[in-house]
Structure 1
């Protein structure tokens, strides 16, 4: 997936447009080389908020791209431009992976790409998407949906989650983590085979567990208990569980298990350690335990994951590539 084309027309939402440009259009060859070949594609100069944007190519260029990204636009009460819909449909028929950000899902739906599929968009517009396209299964409660060659995201910050998800699919979790650190956002934790993510990206440092998370992530090789976490956080186990539910949407033990699995993914990608060694490094104890939890969470066993996400020749990673992510929070608009 080397060529990414961003489809633009008048009235596009500038935040989603900017996020896609920042992830795919920046020169990140110092992190991984080659990076994406990026192109802005539109019928002519377009108006995005107060700015005029000159595309690199016309919409017919979308058919030459490996990945086509369709940002949202403000006026969802109007049908999307026919020329944009036709170009996106033609790109998908030519083999492109097509992803929408926020209300860009209306373009994909108009092109028939969401028929019989699950999809999402900004929560404020999910009812309208369902009404206009009843053949689409619209889920208002998820962050994004990955249907393989067709992906949709919810609104605003969820666009970043989907962009990082695409990077993860193409380059692996360690590279996605590095990009996320560069952008000063946590990488999206639910990767691998997981299609549906139910919680948005966290805002670091604005919740009672902000200091606890880094402490835990530095000690994943240890046999931590809920009592250990509660003691470090300076609260009772009951209060800890309540805060975890509010901030992460899950329990302390489930969150801890997820962090161990994500760390195992990074080690499988970036090291030659055996599964036994990785089981010890992630606090899973034995290879049997790691394999059981890994397969249940990611959908494939560790050895198969390594073969998929660790090609024979990988670029050298900076030290920050081995950083671990913070958990998502469950509040705030998507």
Structure 2
């Protein structure tokens, strides 16, 4: 998916456009070569609040792209332009992977791409999306939804999560994590994580999870339990669970499992270690346990994941010539 088209029109949100361009438009060939070729598509000059953007290509060329990204749509009470909707629909029919960021989901829904599919958008607009497009299975409680050739995200930070998810699909978890570090954002959050978190981790040294999370990640290979986390944080398991729910939107146990699966993905991509060895290195214990959780979380068994990744990227994650 090396060609990425950003589909824009008057009335879109510039933050989501900037997120997509920062991830896919920057020259990151020193991280992965080839990287993405990005183009901006629109029907003439596009107004973003107080500035104008001159797209380099017309909407008629949108079907040429392998991936199409639709940024947020500012006024969800107004129907998106018909030419934008038609171009997005045509691109999907031509085989493009189409992703919306935030309220860009309203464009995809207008194009009929979300009918019969699960989708999400910014939590403040999920009810409007469901009411206006009753054939869409709207999930208000997730960061993003991956339906294969159609993907949708919640708002703002979740747009970054979805973009990193696409990088992970195309280049693997090691490259996606490298991009995240470059952008000084957390490693990609799972799509199923709650999108509305009442109290994110404060940027201060005395927050109880500030030191705990990296401490735990450094010890995934051991038999780490929720009780171990609570003991390290010097609080009860119940108190720890409240902090985790408020800060991450999930439970300590689910967070641990997610980190173990991600570590397993990295090892499957970058090493020739056996599934048994990877199970031990990620604290999953046995290959049977790893296969069960990996298949349920990722959707394929570890062996199939490795074969698919190697076939797409070449041995040990190196780009295919």
TM value normalised by structure 2: 0.90
* Secondary structure, aligned partner of 1:186: coil
Q: How big is the shift at 1:30? A: 0.6
Higher relative contact order, structure no. (Cα contacts within 8 Å, ≥ 6 residues apart)? 1
Q: Tell me: CA distance 1:208–1:182, structure 2 relative to 1, closer, same or farther (3 Å).
A: same
Alignment of 1:183-222 (within 5 A): 183-190=183-190, 196-199=192-195, 205=203, 207-222=207-222
Q: How big is the shift at 1:65? A: 0.3
* Secondary structure, aligned partner of 2:307: helix
Distance 1:251 1:196 in 2: 12
TM value normalised by structure 1: 0.87
Distance 1:251 1:159 in 2: 23
Q: How big is the shift at 1:199? A: 4.2
The question of whether the paired residues in 2 share the 8 Å contact of 1:295 and 1:301 is answered with yes
The question of whether the paired residues in 1 share the 8 Å contact of 2:141 and 2:196 is answered with no
RMSD: 2.1
Q: How big is the shift at 1:29? A: 0.5
1:260 corresponds in structure 2 to: 260
* Secondary structure, aligned partner of 2:72: coil
Distance 2:193 2:229 in 1: 25
Distance 1:133 1:82 in 2: 16
Distance 2:302 2:16 in 1: 34
Distance 2:201 2:62 in 1: 34
* Secondary structure, aligned partner of 2:4: strand
Unpaired runs of at least 5, structure 1: 318-334
The question of whether the paired residues in 2 share the 8 Å contact of 1:102 and 1:156 is answered with yes
44-53 or 252-261, which deviates more: 252-261
Paired positions, count: 313
Residue-by-residue CA offset, 1:121-174 (whole Å, 9 max, x unaligned):
112222222222222222222211111111111111111111111111111111
Residue-by-residue CA offset, 1:10-52 (whole Å, 9 max, x unaligned):
1210100100100111111010000011000111121112221
Q: Tell me: CA distance 1:102–1:199, structure 2 relative to 1, closer, same or farther (3 Å).
A: closer
Distance 1:197 1:241 in 2: 15
The question of whether the paired residues in 2 share the 8 Å contact of 1:33 and 1:315 is answered with no
The question of whether the paired residues in 2 share the 8 Å contact of 1:189 and 1:262 is answered with no
Unpaired runs of at least 5, structure 2: none
* Secondary structure, aligned partner of 1:5: strand
